[in-house]
Amino acid sequence: MSDTHVYLSSGWRDEALRRLQSEIPPEKMNNITTSMSNIYKNCPDGVEKFLFIECVDGKVTRVETGDSEAPDAEFKITGDYETFAKISRAELGSQKALFLGKLKLKGNMAKALKLAALADRINKVLSQIPAKY
């Protein structure tokens, strides 16, 4: 059994990168090149955090977390920590959260909708990481 990681910690980030690279081959990501920064508001420690994920030719090449400014990304998604935590625990779908207004998206909405199934694949893998929220 894997160790439990604090959600968004460096250990969680490293496990996320390892799992995404090993469990989602580039063809399952439609060989896309894109990036997204999730901006977490109202975090338990009072500090805004981010999760950045980059794919190049369908391979997840970078996963970063932190509490400084997020790297520039094609898509910027902002929401409450608890909303993202529910998505990461597979308790809430990202598309549903977006349509309910729990998440705000900056970027090409048409492209984002096309990539929604790919985001769901990523979230499914992330939901398998034993984490303390």
Mind giving me the DSSP string for 15-49? Answer: HHHHHHHHHS-GGGGTT--EEEEEEEES-TTS--E
- Distance, C-alpha 42 to centroid of its chain: 17
What CATH number is attached to the domain comprising 73? 3.30.1050.10
Q: Quote the pLDDT of residue 12.
A: 97
Q: Quote the pLDDT of residue 115.
A: 87
pLDDT profile of the chain (133 residues), mean per 10? 87 97 95 96 96 97 96 96 92 91 93 86 94 94
> How many angstroms separate the CA atoms of 133 and 130, rounded?
10
Provide the domain count of the chain: 1
Diameter over CA atoms, the chain: 40
Q: Quote the pLDDT of residue 90.
A: 85
| Domain residue limits at 64 | 5-126
Q: Is 131 part of any domain?
A: no
